[in-house]
Amino acid sequence: MSTGFHIVVCAGIVPDPLQTLEPVSGPQGWALKNEMMLPACLDPWASHALFEAANLAKNVSDSKVWLVTLGPKAKVQQVMMTMAQKVPFELVALDGAANGFTDAAETAAALANAIEGIAGLDKSRLLLFGGWESASRGAGATLQIVGERLGITEQFQGVDQITIKDNGAMEILERVEGGSHQVSECSSAPAVLGWATGNLPEPPNNSQIGMQNMRLIMPALQKAPATKIGTADIAYKGIELPKQQRNTRIVKDVPVEEIAREIVDWLRG
């Protein structure tokens, strides 16, 4: 009997963080100005989830990773030119909007549907990974709803670490207040893990992995079903970019300990 995990990572694409973001309202609803034309990247939170998934799959034999994404497939293809070189995975693509103004429930429904349709997926071995939050809009709801729709009740958010114990149980560290973690033990899959940053660095590009992945990614993109995720029927009362908050104070001749104490006080405050 197989003991490995079937890890499905849900990941959206977002505009490259350095781009100028300007919300605009049009006939199709809200969007970011010139969003289609801006370079995109895989949502950083979901990227961490993907790296953790690949690491887990490497360490637990007979495991496999799928990356499920909903976004304009031409843009997803561009993002894959980088992500495909990071870790091995199989892509499941849905061709639709991914601009941060879509409704989390609609997106989750489409993703859950796509996951249900993955051939060979054993839901009893399923670990559903994704970002705890999103760089496009930090509602943090999509992954939970996907989990609910798939009937997975064991859900963990803000995850930084997963350890597989000798008995096969998962020890999971979730972020809580003050830089501490809550440690949970989950006896077996299925489970939802919404990742914070994890502990792993971004893997270096590996062109061999890239070529391997691309053999399946290109066909997956070609057959990505058009998925209507609208924004037109959602009314936003107000949309604004987060304001930059920077409070710089230049000090001289202050001991490191003093600076550290002040920072800690600020964090506690």
Partner 1 sequence: MSTTSLEAAPETLRTLPGDDVRQILWRFADRFDLQMIVQSTRAVARGPVARLVAEGGRNSHEWTDGKNKLFQAYDEGGITGVFLEPEFGGIVEGPKNLALALVAWELAWVDAGAATSSLASNLAYAPINERGTEEQKREYMQKQAPLQPGEKRKQFRGSFALTEPLPYVGVDTGTVGGKLRVAEWQEGKEPILQVDKRGRFITNMDVANFVTVAVDSDDERIKGSCMIIVEDTDPGTFDKGAPTLKLVHQLSSTRDPVLNLKVPASRIIGGYTIQDGLIVPNYSLSDVLEAVFRRTRVTVGIMTSAKLLSAIEPVIRYQRTRARGGASTPDTPKYDLGIQQKEDARHRLVDVWASGEAGASFGFEVARIIDAFDIVEKEKEKVLEEQGVKGARSQLRVMRKLTDEVLEYLDLKYSPEDKRDQARYQELENNTLIQYAVTEAIANVYTPAVKLWNTSQGAIMMREAVSLMGGYGITEDCPGFLCQKWFDAQLEATYEGPEAVQRRQMSVTMINPVFIALMKHWIKELRGIAARKPETGACNLATAMQLWLWVIDYLQVGKDADGGKLYTNQRQGVTFPLADALSWLLTSRQQILDVLELEEKGPNNPVVAEGLEGTVAFLTDLCHVQAARSSGEVGRICAELVFGYNRHPAWDAEGCKTCFNEDELDELESVIPGIGSVADSVSDVISKDGTHPVKAGPCARFDGLKTFTKYRIKLDGCLTGSRLAKDRASDALMHVMIPEALDYPQ
Torsion angle in degrees (nearest 10) through CA of 31, 32, 34, 38: -120
Spatial separation of the C-alpha atoms in residues 269 and 255, rounded to whole Å: 21
Torsion of CA 193, 197, 200, 203, to 10 degrees: 100
Q: Which residue, 38 or 145, has its beta carbon nearer to partner 1?
A: 38
Q: Closest separation between CB of residue 134 and partner 1, Å?
A: 19
Contact criterion met (CB below 8 Å) for 157 and 144: yes
Q: Which is nearer to partner 1, 90 or 122 (CB)?
A: 90
Q: To the nearest whole angstrom, how small is the minimum distance from the Cβ of residue 226 to partner 1? A: 11
Nearer to partner 1, 21 or 186 (CB): 21
Nearer to partner 1 among residue 37 and residue 254 (C-beta): 37
For the CB of residue 206, give the shortest distance to partner 1 in the complex, in Å: 7
Residue 12 or 190: the one with the smaller Cβ distance to partner 1 is: 12
Distance CA 202, CA 130 (A): 16
Strands 90-95 and 64-71: parallel
* Closest approach of partner 1 to the CB of residue 133, in Å: 21
| Shortest reach from residue 205's CB to partner 1, in Å | 4
Compare residues 120 and 204 and give the one whose CB is closer to partner 1: 204
- Nearer to partner 1 by Cβ, of 60 and 218: the residue is 218
Residue 250 CB neighbour total at 10 angstroms: 4
E runs forming strands in 64-207: 64-71, 90-95, 126-131, 155-164, 170-175, 181-186, 191-195
CB of 57 to partner 1, least distance (A): 17
Three-class SS of residue 144? helix
Q: Return the structure tokens found at 218.
A: 């290109």
Residues forming the site for partner 1 (CB under 8 A): 16, 18-20, 22, 33-34, 36-39, 72, 74-75, 78, 81-82, 84-85, 204-208, 210-211, 214, 218
Buried b (16+ CB within 10 A) or exposed e, 216-234: ebeebbeebeebebebeee
Least spacing, CB of residue 235 vs partner 1, in Å: 25
Do 52 and 129 form a contact (C-beta atoms < 8 A)? yes
